[in-house]
Every structure is written in structure tokens, then in C-alpha cells.
Amino acid sequence: MKREFAPSRLDVIGFAEESASLSGTDPVASYERLSAELAGAEPGDHVAWTAIGENRTGSDGAPVAWLHLHVETTLPFVCQRCLTAVPLALTVDRWFRFASDEEAAAVEDEEADEDVLVAARDFDLKGLIEDELLMEIPVTPRHDVCPEPVQLFAVDPDFEEASAARPNPFAVLGTLKPRK
């Protein structure tokens, strides 16, 4: 009998033991922190993901739980050059290894190439998906070529005219200075 696994409360040890897999397509709105970074999500925007569990033999011969996570989405961010929406494809394709406790995970994570997380019976897979997508966002999202010409300077002719018409406030000080 196959066990049912829920992404919001995933038993990662059991998931890996059964070499189980989960997949889904979630609306972007269900990822609150990710939604806050967007230029304005459309109702059709979604996040497609797949998680696969696997047991591998560890260095001590005991089974070690692993999880492969693959996530794909295209979301609108604010272009930092022209300040219009720029759709960016985000992809996560990563393996995670699980350790028995926080201390072991911290030690092993320093030495490992893969990410090491703490195994739990109520692991939040959706939280991991959101964290990984947030880390994939570029520091400065921008178009390769902006759709509108970018104004890289600020010149206001009215401002220049107003400055020329006004007397220099320091000119009065010059008249107070005694002549030699």
C-alpha cells in the first residue's frame, strides 16, 4: 500500500524510503513572499514543481534521505532600467540531503556541495519551493533591451529658465563687503 504525502507536511524520511514523487502547479498568489517581489502577478501565473525522494547509502552504510526539487515559472518583475514589467523565467533544479538534526545539518552543510536540511515528519516543501525561487530572482531584474527608450538624464527647460530669472541670493552679500 502506497502512502499519501502532502507537500505542506512532508515526511521526508518516508518519502525517500518509498522513492515517492509529488508534483503540482500552484497559483503564484499562494506564495506570499514571492508575490510581494512581483510587478503585478496575473491570475494565470503559476509555479510548476516536482519533488522526488530517494534513499542513498551514506558513508556509514546507513540510508540517507535525498530530495530532488525541480521548479519552473515565468513571473513579471520590475525592470530596474525602465521601471516597466519584465517577465523572467526562474528555474530551480537542485538536490537536497537530509540530516537527523540541526547540529548535524550545520556541520555537514559546510562540507557538502549539496544543501543539507533537517529531516522532519512535517517538512514544509512549499516553503522550500518559495525560498528557492526567491534566491533565483536576479539582484537587478531588467530587460536585455528595454521596450521604451530609457531616459538617463533629467533636464527640465522650465527649471533652467526659472533659475536664470531669479537673482543670485549671494549677490546682495557682495554689496555689503567693504571695498579696499
What are the extents of the domains in the chain? 12-149
Extended strands (E) in 10-84 = 21-27, 46-57, 63-78
pLDDT in tens, 36-63: 999 887 888 999 999 999 999 887 888 9
The overall average pLDDT reported for the chain is 87
* Cross-strand partners of 117: 98
147 pLDDT above the threshold of 70: yes
- 24: Cα within 13 Å, side-chain hemisphere: 12
Q: Which of 111, 67, 119, 110 is nearest to 92 (CA)?
A: 67
- Grid cell locating 66: 535525498
**pLDDT score for 25:** 96
**pLDDT score for 70:** 98
* Phi, psi of 13, rounded to the nearest 5 degrees: -65, -50
CB of 55 within 8 A of CB of 65? yes
DSSP state of 66: E
